[in-house]
Amino acid sequence: MKYHLTKYYKLLVIFVCTTLLVFSSQVVIAQSNYHFGTPGKQRVQLIVGGDFIVTMNEAQPVIENGAIAIRDGKIVAVDTQYKIMASYRADRTLPGDGMVLMPGLVNGHSHSAMVLFRGLADDLALQDWLENYIFPAEGKFVDENFVRVGEQLACWEMIRGGTTTFVDMYFEPDVAANVVKECGLRAIIAPSSIDFPSPGFQGWDDAFASSIDFLKRWKGKNERIMPALAPHAPYTVSPEHLVQAIQAARNYDVPLTIHLAETQAEVQDVQERYNATPVKHLENLGFLEPRVFAAHVVWPNESEIALLAKRGVGVIHNPDSNLKLASGFAPIPAMLKAGVKVGLGTDGAASNNVLDMWKAIRLTALIHKGTTLDPTAVPAKTVLRMATLGGAEALGLSDKIGAIKVGLQADLIQVQLKEPHLLPLYDVISHLVYAADSQDVDTVIVNGQVLMEKRRMLTVDPERIRREATSIAQRIKAQFRTSN
């Protein structure tokens, strides 16, 4: 009898333990399903689709009927729509019917708040435009409110056009950074420093000191906002101040941007002062290195192009502004052939009139064919790369943005393909370069956050910006036009 009871107790213990084990397993599975959704599917915040995914990734150039899974602001998977939907469950899905999904555009050079000077002074040479119109207008009107409203207007325009990252070289950097923080874009904010008085400053010393303070306040504060230094140009900043700027950039480990070799007048001026061309002058100062990216670079010679490539300097091509100010035609085909990191920019809307990267893309593809008399110069794929991954490389950000690749930030745009100027479709990259425009951008995502959906702005208030920009413009028109 004792033996049978012992055996009974053993069986009872085995039964209880088995029951508890099964129950525990079910709890774990239930918790797993609650966290990840359907068994076998990983949970992500966002899935975005496209009839075509233009990745700018050589390993996966174009994916048809594709989708991207996004978690914590980063791309975690890129594949066909079928495979993504089979493997991931999203809190939110943006369908891609009739869409191209591609990296957001990178505007490597702008003076964003200058949108409020749009059309103020046109059809003038650069020096006349700067010295007799823009510098006086800035001295009179640029303050915190001007920059706040101008930056908001610029962000609204850039989001509408599919720009997700931009470089802002202007004044009141804290104001600009806070606007960018609110609107959701990614930006390099580079307060301009110059040797003579500028808005809020007596000259180089106080302007540069303010820039250093800005670096200290903002470096590492927000993952979308990167502070930088911006000595204006070799003809407006002395050699000793240029050296001071590059040394500070090294000490604080930040990027540095500068206008360089923009006009023949600049080349002649710097040559007369320092017995060297602008590029060679910077080389003589030990200034050229990978953290530097230079705007325009219209007039380098062959040896200087090789030098820019050797030093790893980024170049930002601004075709609209260069044409409007008659600065010349930058030797972009030669730079690309030499291995220079080349991106695209709009420059400020005071000299370009729009912050439209699609116009810069198309102009770049066309003008260099015309100037070289070679229809194969700067083909569509190359230009689109300049506007995305090439720009990211020039800015030192290719480990974060510029392509659709696992591990990079989810800075993406959907471009619709339904309008008549986009039909029929044979080559999606050709369409994006030669046919698409800013009005075709449907949805914009930065860091996994949707900033515009179906052309509806989600992070800025267009009507308020319109009112405030119009009010400032009326004051400028009344006080400035009559006195110049």
Task: Express each pLDDT in 225-253 by its tens digit.
Answer: 999 999 999 999 999 999 999 999 999 99
Q: How confident is the model at residue 483 (pLDDT cuts 50, 70, 90)?
A: very low
> CA angle at residue 217 from 211 to 223, to 5 degrees?
110
pLDDT for 246-299, tens place per residue? 999 999 999 999 999 999 999 999 999 999 999 999 999 999 999 999 999 999
Counted residue by residue, the chain has a size of: 484
Q: What does the mean pLDDT of the chain come to?
A: 92
pLDDT at position 481, please? 58
Cα–Cα distances in Å, from 334 out to 299, 340, 341, 342, 418? 12, 9, 12, 11, 37
pLDDT at 38: 55
Instruction: Inform me whether the pLDDT recorded for 473 exceeds 70.
Output: yes
- pLDDT, position 127: 82
Instruction: Kindly list the distances between the CA atom of residue 27 and the CA atoms of 20, 22, 49, 127, 450, in Å, as whole numbers in the listed order.
Output: 10, 9, 34, 74, 35
Mean pLDDT of 341-352: 95
If you average pLDDT over residues 346-371, what whole number do you get?
96
Nearest of 285, 310, 280 to residue 297 by alpha carbon? 280
- The one-letter amino acid at 145: N
Confidence grade of residue 85 (pLDDT, cut at 50, 70, 90)? very high
Q: How does pLDDT run across 182-200, given as a tens digit for each residue?
A: 999 999 999 999 999 999 8
pLDDT at 456 over 80: yes
Give the H/E segment covering residue 191: strand 186-193
E strand spans, 34-124: 42-54, 62-71, 74-80, 88-94, 99-103, 105-110
Q: What is the pLDDT at residue 33?
A: 37
Is residue 42 a contact partner of residue 87, using CB atoms and an 8 Å limit? Answer: yes
Residue 421, both tokens: 């100027």
Query: How high is the pLDDT of residue 4?
Result: 47
pLDDT(15) > 60 = no
pLDDT at 29 over 80: no
pTM: 0.91
Distance of CA 366 to CAs 149, 192, 297, 370, 379, Å?
34, 32, 18, 7, 9
Sign of the alpha-carbon torsion through 141, 125, 433, 169: negative
- Give just the sign of the alpha carbon dihedral 72, 74, 76, 82: positive
Rounded mean pLDDT, 462-468: 98
| Confidence band of 19 (pLDDT split at 50, 70, 90) | very low
CB 173 within 8 A of CB 200: no
pLDDT at residue 21 in the model: 45
Across the range 360-380, mean pLDDT stands at 97
Beta bridge partners of 222: 225
CA–CA separation, 484 and 477 (whole Å): 11
Q: Which of 281, 297, 271 is nearest to 243 (CA)?
A: 281
Q: E-strand spans in 323-409?
A: 341-344
Poorest-pLDDT segment among 4-13, 336-345, 363-372: 4-13
Instruction: Enumerate helices (H) and strands (E) in the chain, giving the number of each.
Output: 18, 18
- Residue 5 clears pLDDT 80, i.e. is over it: no
Of the candidates 178, 233, 199, 200, the residue with the CA atom closest to the CA atom of residue 114: 199
Element (H, E) at 32: helix 2-36
pLDDT, position 10: 52
* 471 SS3 class: helix
